[in-house]
Chain A
Amino acid sequence: QQQVKQSPQSLIVQKGGISIINCAYENTAFDYFPWYQQFPGKGPALLIAIRPDVSEKKEGRFTISFNKSAKQFSLHIMDSQPGDSATYFCAATVNQAGTALIFGKGTTLSVSS
């Protein structure tokens, strides 16, 4: 049973466009929802995170929108750039010592120039 569902699996966006990746979760005990970015041959790196008591969080061109009642959250990348081409993972966790990140299956984003 997949606890965090992510879509789409892959995404092609033109330079300057908006990239949107969606995730849904099941477990209401989750209290933190981070997004990780992974470039080929590298480890994932935290991009931005949100708590469920906030509906939106913005950091530069990256915005998380959170809908607690629908148990859904999404990542928006504004003015997408070729350098944004990477795999993006949504995740969920309970912020306790040693608790794991539960990842979605990832979205491979390609931004064409």
Chain B
Amino acid sequence: DTAVSQTPKYLVTQMGNDKSIKCEQNLGHDTMYWYKQDSKKFLKIMFSYNNKELIINETVPNRFSPKSPDKAHLNLHINSLELGDSAVYFCASSRQGTGHEQYFGPGTRLTVT
């Protein structure tokens, strides 16, 4: 059983399009995150949700909008895609009180052409 799953794994799209990435965790965790990993492998937090409440919203363009329909899901919608959005996006989850122990999904490689 996959603990944290993301779909799709690969996403190739053109500039200006709108796309979504879905994330689901079956670990029963209360907290979920989105991280961006750039071409140099640097990992940076984008958003975190705890019990469906937005906790962290880093300086990310407002073209990025997370949505948490329930504690097990955290989706990421991106409007008007730009070349600079090309990266690998990771969803992660953790149990409340153990934020240092995050479980990451396999990542979604987004390529904007």
Could you list which residues of chain A lie within 8 angstroms of chain B, going by C-beta atoms? Answer: 32-34, 38, 41-46, 49, 87, 89, 91, 93-103, 105-106, 108
Contacts and interface: CB of A to CB of B under 8 A. Distances in A.
Interface string B86-106: 000010100011111111111
Contact of B97 (A34, A42, A97): A97
Interface in B44-95: 44-45, 48-50, 53, 55-56, 58, 90, 92
Contacts of B53: 98
Contacts of B99: 32, 93-101
- 8 smallest beta-carbon distances between A and B, as pairs: A98-B55, A43-B104, A100-B45, A32-B100, A98-B50, A98-B48, A103-B43, A97-B50
B100 A34 contact: yes
Given A42-B107, A43-B107, A98-B31, A103 B97 contact: no
Contacts of A99: 48, 55-56, 99
B42 A97 contact: no
